[in-house]
Amino acid sequence: MIGLAGKPTLEFVKAFRALRRGVTLYALSVMGTPATVKALGADATGMAISQVVPLPSNVVTPVVRDFQAAWKASGATAEPSHLALEGYINARVFAEALQRAGRNPTRAAFIDATWNLKKWDLGGFEINATTPDRNASRFVELTLVGRDGRFIR
């Protein structure tokens, strides 16, 4: 299990792969970016990476369909990533909390509205913000990096 991010992770994976080619490495979601996979090249193949949002290509999930429509409408040319989907979900949560905070939101009203998003379904992705946990989602899935550098479930 790799608990690093950034350059130290890249260096570790490359060094480890030079020693032990067939071992599955497990990494946290911060490693699950297209830039990381590209930087690792073939060394990324077969890595298992935890993700905190659904696969951005999984159009079965309504929030992913909404995200892909917004992505396409934005004119983005890059392939959608987990990180981009996470940002989209965060923006939707922010907008919903701001709306629930009222016409003249205060800091306190916004914070209260944020932590009172209970069982809010964004379309197959539930937000259940609670205190004291400070964790709005319990979604986690493992993805693998395929030979083509794409994430698969």
Does residue 48 lie within any of the structural domains?
yes
- Taking 90 as the threshold, does the pLDDT of residue 99 lie above it? yes
CATH number (domain holding residue 12): 3.40.50.2300
Co-location of 48 and 67 in the same domain: no
Does residue 29 lie within any of the structural domains?
yes
- Taking 90 as the threshold, does the pLDDT of residue 52 lie above it? yes
Co-location of 117 and 77 in the same domain: yes
Co-location of 111 and 66 in the same domain: yes
- Taking 80 as the threshold, does the pLDDT of residue 3 lie above it? no
In angstroms, what CA-CA distances link 108 with 26, 42, 95, 100, 117?
39, 49, 16, 12, 15
Instruction: Encode 68-95: b = buried (16+ Cβ within 10 Å), e = exposed.
Output: beebeeeeeeeebbbbbbbebbeebbee
The predicted pLDDT at position 2 comes to 79
pTM: 0.89
Does residue 134 lie within any of the structural domains?
no
Counting the structural domains of the chain, the total is 2
- Taking 80 as the threshold, does the pLDDT of residue 89 lie above it? yes
- Taking 80 as the threshold, does the pLDDT of residue 4 lie above it? no
Does residue 135 lie within any of the structural domains?
no
> pLDDT for 116-145, tens place per residue?
998 999 999 999 987 677 788 999 999 999
Lowest mean pLDDT among 17-26, 52-61, 100-109: 17-26
State which residues form the domain around 78.
Answer: 62-127
The predicted pLDDT at position 132 comes to 73
The predicted pLDDT at position 95 comes to 97
pLDDT above 70: percentage of residues in the chain: 99
Mean pLDDT estimate for the chain = 92
Co-location of 75 and 113 in the same domain: yes
Co-location of 38 and 84 in the same domain: no
